[in-house]
Amino acid sequence: MIDLNNTETAFKIKSNRELKNAGFLFSMIKHPFIVRTLGLMSSLALKIKFPVAWIVKPTLYRHFVGGETIDECFPSMRKMAAENVKSVLDFSVEAAVNEKDIEKTFQELKHSVINSGKHDEIPFSVFKPTALTMHNILKKASESENSLTPEEQISYNNFVQRFDELCAEAVKAGKPIMIDAEDYWFQPAIDRITENMMLKYNKHSAAVYTTLQMYRHDRLDYLQYLIKFAKENSIILGIKYVRGAYMEKERLRAAEGNYPSPVYSTKAETDRAYNKALEISVENHDIIHVFCGTHNEESIVELMQYMKNKGLENNCPTIHISQLYGMSDNLSFNTAKAGYNVAKYLPYGKIKNVLPYLVRRAEENSAIAGQTARELIMLKQELKRRKTVKK
Ligand SMILES: Cc1cc2nc3c(=O)[nH]c(=O)nc-3n(C[C@H](O)[C@H](O)[C@H](O)COP(=O)(O)OP(=O)(O)OC[C@H]3O[C@@H](n4cnc5c(N)ncnc54)[C@H](O)[C@@H]3O)c2cc1C
């Protein structure tokens, strides 16, 4: 088994200064009070344009974001690619409020998809469906498409058409496209459209990847449904597996709406479902291409073991491992060194648009006390190792 905690490999592309800054950042966000204040400040920033750039840009933004534009991401992308860690450029944008915003976002996403075809450092493109439609329309379409008014139906049809156009561009670019998973009440429409896109574009290879949030207790059944769907229609499934980013929100909403929470009640159940989905996918690797998005070391170890049991090479081209930029470099760089296909999600966008993403990262790292502590220990270990080597 490979050593996933080798800090020399994990932080090879980071300068001492960058490691110290990261250490400072993680030691701050481990305090829930600081993260709560940040959440409050970011809400204010979005509501009353309260300036937060001076504090966010040199800290959270620099650590978790590639830059404001694709061009600004290139230096980070190239450094990672030199160590066989590739990038998935993830455009961050505010929730759409009108057609003009949506069209602007669509053009940037199209640019990002076309760009993926031009660079070896970018093996996939990705988009968030809510960036391309208004929330109320996606929610209504998820309940029942028939409930849309004629005007809403036009808007929804435009959404489906743009969704399709991005998938078609990805096929032209020769790089698969991933559809992010979102809140439970938007997901039925997203799943429906993504299945249609897989039907249209995944005949010979997985050009379109859906996302399964394994904290949802219906997702293992949905995976079985997708396998049947793929067999019946002779297509290849592309699946990004994540645990799910909106647990608190989902539980709160379910309690308020008086329906059962869609999320497992314990972390252990989510972990089991996540690993089970990986096992089923490797078992069916002839019809499922896997993108394993996690910072959970145990899940990565399980995946490696399933691959080995199945006789698959580390660099099996249909299996990718992924972490978010700024998180768990030990997993990304050590697995890449061992030959696995690795790509980090690299967000880009203006500070105000990236703020909700940054707050989520801070909250997540604050909540996962163990993970933050591990990051801190590894950063310190590496700084110490470098000092010793110099002597
Ligand atoms: C490359 C990549 C792409 C991603 N894309 C998406 C996406 O499209 N949509 C999306 O929603 N998220 C996405 N995420 C975020 C992801 O869903 C997780 O929030 C995040 O990765 C933390 O989970 P983990 O597996 O890394 O780590 P872990 O620390 O092992 O797991 C934390 C996660 O476990 C679950 N959990 C924690 N406590 C409980 C509990 N008490 N009961 C039940 N479950 C619990 C939650 O999902 C929580 O986020 C992505 C993450 C990565 C790395």
Digit-coded pLDDT (tens) for 109-141: 999 999 999 999 999 999 999 999 999 999 999
Q: Answer whether residue 192 shows pLDDT above 80.
A: yes
Place of tokens 């990262």: 361
- Please tell me the predicted confidence (pLDDT) of residue 319: 98
Q: What is the CATH number of the domain that holds 124?
A: 3.20.20.220
- Please tell me the predicted confidence (pLDDT) of residue 206: 98
Task: Give the mean model confidence (pLDDT) for residues 167-174.
Answer: 98
- Please tell me the predicted confidence (pLDDT) of residue 46: 64
233 found inside a domain: yes
93 found inside a domain: yes
- Please tell me the predicted confidence (pLDDT) of residue 170: 98
> Which residue out of 4, 191, 239, 243 has the highest number of ligand 1 atoms within 8 Å of its CB and is therefore the one to mutate?
243
C-beta 263 within 6 A of ligand 1: yes
C-beta 219 within 6 A of ligand 1: no
Atom 1 of ligand 1, nearest CA residue: 293
Task: Give the mean model confidence (pLDDT) for residues 207-230.
Answer: 98
CA 180/CA 240 separation, integer angstroms: 8
39 found inside a domain: no
Range(s) of the domain holding residue 173: 67-352
pLDDT higher at 44 or 334: 334
Question: Per the structure, how many domains does the chain have?
Answer: 1
Q: How confident is the model at residue 390 (pLDDT cuts 50, 70, 90)?
A: low
72 found inside a domain: yes
Q: Answer whether residue 365 shows pLDDT above 90.
A: no
Q: Distance from first CA to last CA of the chain, Å, rounded? A: 31
C-beta 245 within 6 A of ligand 1: yes
Q: How confident is the model at residue 26 (pLDDT cuts 50, 70, 90)?
A: confident
| Dihedral (CA of 108, 195, 223, 135) sign | positive
Q: Answer whether residue 96 shows pLDDT above 90.
A: no
315 found inside a domain: yes
343 found inside a domain: yes
Q: Which two tokens stand for residue 147?
A: 């409930």
Task: Give the mean model confidence (pLDDT) for residues 150-162.
Answer: 96
CA 109/CA 127 separation, integer angstroms: 7
- Please tell me the predicted confidence (pLDDT) of residue 98: 87
How far are the Cα atoms of 157, 161, 191, 193 from residue 149, in angstroms, in the given order?
Answer: 12, 18, 21, 19
Instruction: Please state the atom number of ligand 1 nearest to the C-alpha of residue 245.
Output: 19
252 found inside a domain: yes
C-beta 357 within 6 A of ligand 1: no
Atom 44 of ligand 1, nearest CA residue: 267
C-beta 181 within 6 A of ligand 1: yes
212 found inside a domain: yes
C-beta 296 within 6 A of ligand 1: yes
Work out the mean pLDDT of the chain and round it to a whole number. Answer: 92
- Please tell me the predicted confidence (pLDDT) of residue 53: 73
